[in-house]
Amino acid sequence: MVIMKTIQEGMANTLGFVATVVGLGAMFGAILEQSGGARVIATFLIEKMGEKKAPVAMALAGFIIAIPVFFEVAFILLVPMIYALQRKTKKSLLLYALPLLAGLAITHAFIPPTPGPIAVADIIGADLGWVILIGCVTGFPAVIIGGLYYGKYIGNRIYVEAPTHDLLKKKEGLQNKKKVPAVSTILFIIAIPILLILTSTFADSGIVEIQSGILLEVISLIGHPFSALIIANIIAWNILGLKLGYTKAELLKVTSKSMEPAGLIILITGAGGVFKQMLVNTGAGELIAESLGGIGFPIIVFAFIVALIVRVIQGSATVAMITAASLVAPLISNTSTSFEIACVVVAIAAGGTFLSHVNDSGYWLVKEFLGISEKVTFKTWTVMTAIISVTAFCIVCLITYIF
């Protein structure tokens, strides 16, 4: 009966926060996806930067679009753009695909409100604002090194043409058939929840001094992830939904369908919460902490290695991150600052990104849509995930050492 109570406690403590945020985030991403926002951003960046800097444009597009939209959906939405670039320039498809994939992978694992970092932050008690900031600081260099530099290096050595298969025809239901929103509108809506959460973090941490107690309470309220995502959803449904010609019934259908992938993530995260609670209640977490303290093993390194091992063994980045967070949570000291805990979240994200291979669905998604062999997928996508993982971890270690 104690075990049953522990399961209930762990599930309830975790899902009270995560289920709400992941659900709201999924609905937010769904309306942005359906309105054509992903294509609008990518097209705008390519037009502004030109063909020569198209890889940079695709990296930025991936980084921005994966904030509200799930990795797989965002990739499928933007695949036609990298096909078009390859056919126009006659250069290797990898020059455009790897920067895009790097941007998507980093945001998917590092930057809330995507499910992985949301779940990890909740399990180990991190502040989402700090996670967003440190995730961006570590993520940008990782995208540059893994996506742009390695993408250029391997793209110049392996020539890949845009495939002519009909995989994309099966995904036509994702495309918007109504009016297309302006890029400024899309960027503004994506920025709303992030800016609200960051403002609350700055106010609560004292970085921005606010004398008025009432104003501080208001900022904390609207900057809470629940409030920030509710506000963002209301604005998105109105501007990208009703004003673009969607009916209430169509919006209901879009948001309801968004719950399908969210449901699995929520249950996996709940299982991670149970795992953490079991470690806490049985004293296993304290035992691990004492063992690490005895050998002087830093928590941030332990977090990275655990996430890395689970990722390589079972494939899913989200599962790897949640498992690592469950093991690390009992080790977090009461004296740890919000900044330090956020660095641990990013280290877990780095480990969970490492070495995507045949047991990861992302590996097969990339292989099929790029039309390449398993061997080439290993040389490109798998190696790239290892590079961005190690790069991000080195940077977060440097950040913790300096600050």
CA distances from 74 to 78, 248, 254, 289 (A): 6, 24, 16, 39
Instruction: Kindly report, residue by residue over 166-194, the tens digit of the pLDDT.
Output: 555 544 444 455 678 899 999 999 999 99
CA–CA separation, 123 and 263 (whole Å):
18
Instruction: Kindly report, residue by residue over 116-160, the tens digit of the pLDDT.
Output: 899 999 999 999 999 999 999 999 999 999 999 999 999 999 999
Q: What is the pTM of this model?
A: 0.87
Average pLDDT over residues 46-56: 91
* Per-residue pLDDT at 363 exceeds 50: yes
| Residue 178: per-residue pLDDT | 66
CA–CA separation, 246 and 90 (whole Å):
39
Rg over CA atoms, the chain? 21
CA–CA separation, 282 and 262 (whole Å):
30
CA–CA separation, 78 and 99 (whole Å):
12
**Least confident interval from 35-49, 92-106, 323-337:** 323-337
Half-sphere exposure of 281 (CA within 13 A, CB side): 15
What proportion of the chain, given as a percentage, has pLDDT over 70?
Answer: 94
| Residue 293: per-residue pLDDT | 64
CA distances from 365 to 71, 187, 310, 372 (A): 11, 27, 20, 11
- Residue pair 69/77 in contact (Cβ under 8 Å)? The answer is yes
For the chain, give percent helix, strand, coil, nearest 5: 80, 0, 20
Cβ-based neighbour number of residue 31 at 10 Å: 25
* Residue where the block lists tokens 């991403």: 29
- List the domain boundaries for the chain: 2-402
The residue ranking higher by pLDDT, 172 or 213, is 213
The residue ranking higher by pLDDT, 292 or 221, is 221
**Which amino acid is it at 250?**
E
Average pLDDT over residues 101-106: 96
Peptide bond into 113 cis (omega under 30): yes
Half-sphere exposure of 37 (CA within 13 A, CB side): 30
